[in-house]
Amino acid sequence: MNPANDHHFLLGGQRSGKSRRAEGLAAAWLATPGREAVLIATAFAGDAEMADRIAIHRRDRAERVPGLGTVEEPRDLAGALRAHSQAHRLVVVDCLTLWLTNLLMPLHGPAVDSAGLPALFDDVAAALASAPGPVVLVSNEIGLGLSPLTREARRFVDELGRLHQLVAAACGEVTLMVAGLPVAVKRKSGNP
C-alpha cells in the first residue's frame, strides 16, 4: 500500500464545503474501530472576531465529528504532520491558505522571505511523502479571479498556486468543492 495514494486534497472557494467534506471523510474513517483522527488547525486568533470564528468551528466540529481531536499549529506544518501521522490515524489539515498567510503576513514576528519559502514547501511535501497514514488537506482556491492589485497580494496568489501544485502532486486524490458538491479532479488511479 502507498500511503501517499491515500492523501486527499480538497480545494474550493470560501464556504464551498471544503471543511465539511474533510469532516465527513474523518467521520467515515472513525467509523472503523481502532482508528483515530486529528485535525491540525492552522488558524491564528489575531482579533476578537477570529477568536469567535475559531470557537464556533471548534464547537460545531466537536458536534459533527466527536472523535476528531484538534492540534493548533499555525506555522510548523511539516513538524505537525510528522508528529501526528500514524497508520491508524487520519490527519486533517485545515487549512493551507491560513498556514501560508501565517508565513507571509504574520501578525507577530518576521515573515518568511522568498528564499526560505521553497524549503518550507518541500518540507511539507516530504512530510506528506513519509506520512504512514492518510492525510486530508484543505485549501482555498483563490487563483480563479482577477489578478490582485498589490505586489504582496500577487505574491500570495503565486505562492499559494505553487503550494497547491506541490500538494496535488503528493496526493492520490484531488477534489474541487463547488457549492457543497465534490468535483473529482484527480482520482487514486492518477487519471483526471
The CATH code of the domain that includes 34 is 3.40.50.300
Specify if 56 maps to a domain.
Answer: yes
Specify if 191 maps to a domain.
Answer: no
Distance CA 109, CA 107 (A): 7
7 an active-site residue? Answer: no
Q: Tell me the one-letter amino acid at 144.
A: L
pLDDT category at 114 given cuts 50, 70, 90 is confident
> How many structural domains does the chain have?
1
Specify if 135 maps to a domain.
Answer: yes
Mean pLDDT value across residues 94-117: 93
Distance CA 161, CA 153 (A): 12
Q: Where do we find the cell 502532486?
A: 169
Instruction: Give yes or no for residue 106 having a pLDDT over 80.
Output: yes
Specify if 192 maps to a domain.
Answer: no
Which residues are CB-neighbours of 182 under 8 A, at least 6 positions away?
Answer: 17, 21, 175, 176
As a whole number, the mean pLDDT across the chain is 92
Instruction: Give yes or no for residue 147 having a pLDDT over 90.
Output: no
Query: pLDDT value at position 44?
Result: 82
Distance CA 37, CA 135 (A): 10
Specify if 80 maps to a domain.
Answer: yes
pLDDT category at 57 given cuts 50, 70, 90 is confident
Specify if 99 maps to a domain.
Answer: yes
Specify if 30 maps to a domain.
Answer: yes
**8, 57, 84, 88: which is the annotated catalytic residue?**
57
Specify if 29 maps to a domain.
Answer: yes
The more confident residue out of 123 and 143 is 123
Instruction: Give yes or no for residue 108 having a pLDDT over 90.
Output: no
Are 18 and 7 in contact by the 8 Å Cβ rule? The answer is no
Question: b/e string for 27-63 if b means 16 or more Cβ within 10 A?
Answer: bebbeeeebbbbbbbbbbeeeeeeeeeeeebeeebee
Q: Which domain holds residue 175?
A: 3-186
The more confident residue out of 145 and 115 is 115
Mean pLDDT value across residues 42-47: 86
Mean pLDDT value across residues 9-31: 95
